[in-house]
Amino acid sequence: MGENLPRVPGGAQLHSDTLHGPVRTLRVKMVILGSSGVGKSSLALRFVRDEFKNPSPTVGCAYLTRVVHLSDVTLRFEIWDTAGQEKYHSVTPLYYRGAHAALVVYDISKRETFVRAQVWLKELEKQYIPGSTVMCLVGNKGDLDQERQISVQEGQALASDRSLFFTETSVLSGDQISELLLGIAHRVYECIGGQQGGLSEWKETPLIDLHHRDTFTPFASCCKVGP
Amino acid sequence: MKLLTFGPIALCLYVCPLRCVSLPSVAVMDGEAQRAAVSWENGTLAPVDRLRSERADSPTPGLVEGTEPGAGQKSAMFVHAQSFEDLTAETEEVAQRDAELDKSEGECTDELKVLVGEKTIEEQRNSISSETRSKEEDVSSEAWRSHRKHVFVLSEAGKPIYTRYGTEEALSSTMGVMMALVSFVEAEKNIIRSIHADGCKVVFLTKSPLVLVGVSRTCQSDKELLRELQYIYYQIVSLLTLTQLNHIFQHKQNYDLRRLLAGSEYLTDNLLHRLDRDPGLLLSAVTCLPLASSSRDVVSSSLQAAKAKNLVFSILLAGDRLVTLVRKKDQFLHHIDLHLVFNLVGSSSSFREGEGWTPICLPKFNTAGFFHAHISYLEPASELCLILVSTDREDFFNMSDCKQRFLERLSKRSAYQALKEALKCPSYSVAQVGIPELRHFLYKSKSSGLYTSPEFPAVYQSDEEQERLMGLYQDLHSCLHHPTRPLRSFYRCGETENLLAWVTSGFELYLCFSPLATKALAVSAVNKLLKWIRKEEDRLFILSPLTY
Ligand SMILES: Nc1nc2c(ncn2[C@@H]2O[C@H](COP(=O)(O)OP(=O)(O)O)[C@@H](O)[C@H]2O)c(=O)[nH]1
Ligand SMILES: [Mg+2]
What backbone phi and psi angles, to 5 degrees, belong to A19?
-85, 135
Tell me, what's the ipTM?
0.81
B503 — pLDDT class (breaks 50, 70, 90): very high
Q: Confirm or reject contact between A212 and chain B (CB < 8 A).
A: yes
Closest residue of chain A to B257, computed from CA coordinates: A87
Mean pLDDT, chain B, integer: 79
The model's pLDDT over B234-243, given as tens digits with 9 standing for 90+, comes to 999 999 999 9
The predicted model gives B341-350 an average pLDDT of 91
Distance, CA of B417 to CA of B453 (rounded, Å): 24
- Confidence check: pLDDT of A103 > 90: yes
Mean pLDDT, chain A, integer: 81
pLDDT at B455: 94
- Which of the pair, B467 or A227, is modelled with greater confidence? B467
Distance, CA of B479 to CA of B491 (rounded, Å): 11
Q: Confirm or reject contact between A218 and chain B (CB < 8 A).
A: no
- Confidence check: pLDDT of B2 > 50: no
A110 CB-near residues (< 8 Å, 6+ apart): A35, A37, A38, A149
Q: Confirm or reject contact between A21 and chain B (CB < 8 A).
A: no
Residues of B in contact with A107 (CB under 8 A): none
Among the residue ranges A185-199, B13-27, B175-189, B480-494, the one predicted with the least confidence is B13-27
State in Å: Cα A171 to ligand 1 middle: 7
- Confidence check: pLDDT of A71 > 70: yes
The model's pLDDT over A24-57, given as tens digits with 9 standing for 90+, comes to 899 999 999 999 999 999 999 999 999 898 888 8
B524 — pLDDT class (breaks 50, 70, 90): very high
pLDDT at A54: 84
Distance, CA of B304 to CA of B327 (rounded, Å): 8
User: Residues B360, B388: contact at Cβ < 8 Å?
Assistant: no
B103 — pLDDT class (breaks 50, 70, 90): very low
DSSP letters along A142-194, please?
TT-GGG--S-HHHHHHHHHHTT-EEEE-BTTTTBTHHHHHHHHHHHHIIIIIT
The model's pLDDT over B190-232, given as tens digits with 9 standing for 90+, comes to 788 888 888 889 999 999 899 999 999 888 888 889 999 999 9
The predicted model gives A115-142 an average pLDDT of 90
A140 lines ligand 1 (CB under 6 A): yes
pLDDT at A198: 78
B15 — pLDDT class (breaks 50, 70, 90): very low
How would you write B409-424 as a 3-class SS string? HHHCCHHHHHHHHHHH
A139 lines ligand 1 (CB under 6 A): no
The model's pLDDT over B262-289, given as tens digits with 9 standing for 90+, comes to 888 899 999 999 999 999 999 999 999 9
Interchain proximity A90–B351, CB inside 8 Å:
no
Question: For B119-241, where are the alpha helices, taking DSSP H only?
Answer: 128-132, 142-145, 172-187, 222-240
B75 — pLDDT class (breaks 50, 70, 90): low
Q: Residue B431 carries which side chain, given as an amino acid letter?
A: A
Q: Residue B534 carries which side chain, given as an amino acid letter?
A: R
Q: Which of A62, A86, A208 sits opposite B262 (nearest CB)?
A: A86
- Confidence check: pLDDT of A142 > 80: yes
B79 — pLDDT class (breaks 50, 70, 90): low
The predicted model gives B16-45 an average pLDDT of 32
pLDDT at B312: 95
Burial A131-159 (b: 16+ CB within 10 A, else e): bbbbbbbbbbbbbeeeebebeeeebeebb
State in Å: Cα A116 to ligand 1 middle: 16
- Structural domains in chain B, CATH included, are 142-274 (3.30.450.60), 286-424 (3.30.450.30), 430-540 (3.30.450.30)
Share of chain A above pLDDT 90, in %: 53
pLDDT at A35: 93
Closest residue of chain B to A97, computed from CA coordinates: B394
Share of chain A above pLDDT 70, in %: 79
pLDDT at A193: 77
A217 — pLDDT class (breaks 50, 70, 90): very low
pLDDT at B218: 83
Q: For residue A171, which atom of ligand 1 is closest to its CA?
A: 27
- Confidence check: pLDDT of B307 > 60: yes
pLDDT at A77: 96
Q: What is the DSSP letter of B391?
A: S
pLDDT at B483: 81
Q: Which of A3, A42, A120, A173 to mutate to test the pocket of ligand 1 (most atoms within 8 A of CB)?
A: A42
Q: Which long-range contacts (CB under 8 A, 24 or more apart) does A96-99 make?
A: A96/A31, A96/A33, A96/A124, A96/A127, A97/A127, A97/A216, A97/A217, A97/A218, A98/A29, A98/A214, A98/A215, A98/A216, A98/A217, A98/A218, A98/A219, A99/A29, A99/A30, A99/A31, A99/A133
- Confidence check: pLDDT of A226 > 50: no
A54 lines ligand 1 (CB under 6 A): yes
The predicted model gives B402-427 an average pLDDT of 94
Rg over alpha carbons for chain A, rounded to the nearest Å, is: 17
pLDDT at A92: 81
State in Å: Cα A42 to ligand 2 middle: 7
Share of chain B above pLDDT 90, in %: 53
Distance, CA of A61 to CA of A120 (rounded, Å): 16
- Confidence check: pLDDT of B53 > 80: no
Question: For B306-411, where are the alpha helices, taking DSSP H only?
Answer: 335-347, 396-411
DSSP helix/strand/coil, A68:
strand
pLDDT at A211: 39
A197 — pLDDT class (breaks 50, 70, 90): low
Sign, CA torsion A44/A48/A50/A55: negative
Among the residue ranges B98-102, B422-426, B439-443, B540-544, the one predicted with the least confidence is B98-102
pLDDT at A213: 39
- Confidence check: pLDDT of A180 > 60: yes
pLDDT at B219: 80
Comparing C-alpha atoms, which of B28, B8, B3 is closest to residue B184?
B3
Distances B247 to A28, B123, B253, B393 between C-alpha atoms, Å: 38, 18, 10, 21
The predicted model gives B133-154 an average pLDDT of 79
- Structural domains in chain A, CATH included, are 25-201 (3.40.50.300)
- Confidence check: pLDDT of B123 > 90: no
What backbone phi and psi angles, to 5 degrees, belong to A29?
-90, 120
pLDDT at A199: 82
Q: Confirm or reject contact between B126 and chain A (CB < 8 A).
A: yes
- Confidence check: pLDDT of A9 > 50: no
pLDDT at B5: 37
Closest residue of chain A to B124, computed from CA coordinates: A112
pLDDT at B58: 44
27-86 of A, contacting B, C-beta below 8 A: 35-37, 41, 44-45, 48-49, 55-65, 79, 81, 83-86
Q: Residue B214 carries which side chain, given as an amino acid letter?
A: G
What backbone phi and psi angles, to 5 degrees, belong to B150?
-100, 150
Among the residue ranges A156-165, B293-302, B452-461, B476-485, the one predicted with the least confidence is B476-485
A32 lines ligand 1 (CB under 6 A): no
What backbone phi and psi angles, to 5 degrees, belong to B255?
-60, 145
pLDDT at A205: 59
- Mutation for B interface: A87, A112, A120, A211, most B CBs within 10 A: A87
